């Protein structure tokens, strides 16, 4: 595992496709950033630890984080690893990223009121 490639499960891909259709947010990486933020906001540890990344959706770290925010996302992941009692190794960071993106996608898909970018912003401010 590495932060270089971020891959998603088929279920996550299907959920993101639904979100793309209903929100008008067309880029996987943007939705995945929202997913990560929503999941990290939840202080509980995700129940699922291993995700089968069996879809054809993948992106590199630079695409996911962008050229400006990569250090911020990396710091958030390191903080989360430490908060969960894990050393922020490359493997732990990658696993944490994958698990939290998937949990966040599940949160977003389960919230049928998230149908626009403004709804995402409103949810973030709650």
Per-residue tens of pLDDT for the chain, all 126 residues: 568 899 999 999 999 999 999 888 999 999 999 999 999 999 999 987 788 999 999 999 999 999 899 999 999 999 999 999 999 999 999 999 999 999 999 999 998 888 888 888 887 787
**CATH numeric code, 5-125:** 1.10.1220.160
Question: According to DSSP H, which parts of 24-89 are helical?
Answer: 28-41, 61-83
Question: Structure tokens of 98?
Answer: 């994958």
Q: How far apart are CA 125 and CA 64, in angstroms?
A: 22
């Amino acid at each position: 595992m590495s932060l270089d490639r971020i891959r998603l499960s088929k279920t996550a891909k299907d959920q993101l496709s639904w979100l793309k259709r209903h929100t008008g947010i067309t880029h996987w990486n943007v939705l995945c950033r929202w997913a990560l933020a929503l999941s990290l906001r939840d202080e509980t540890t995700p129940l699922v630890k291993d995700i089968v990344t069996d879809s054809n959706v993948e992106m590199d770290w630079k695409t996911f984080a962008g050229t400006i925010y990569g250090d911020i996302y990396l710091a958030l992941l390191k903080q989360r690893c430490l908060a969960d009692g894990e050393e922020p190794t490359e493997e732990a960071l990658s696993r944490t990223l994958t698990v939290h993106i998937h949990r966040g996608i599940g949160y977003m898909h389960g919230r049928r009121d998230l149908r626009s970018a403004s709804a995402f912003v409103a949810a973030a401010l709650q």
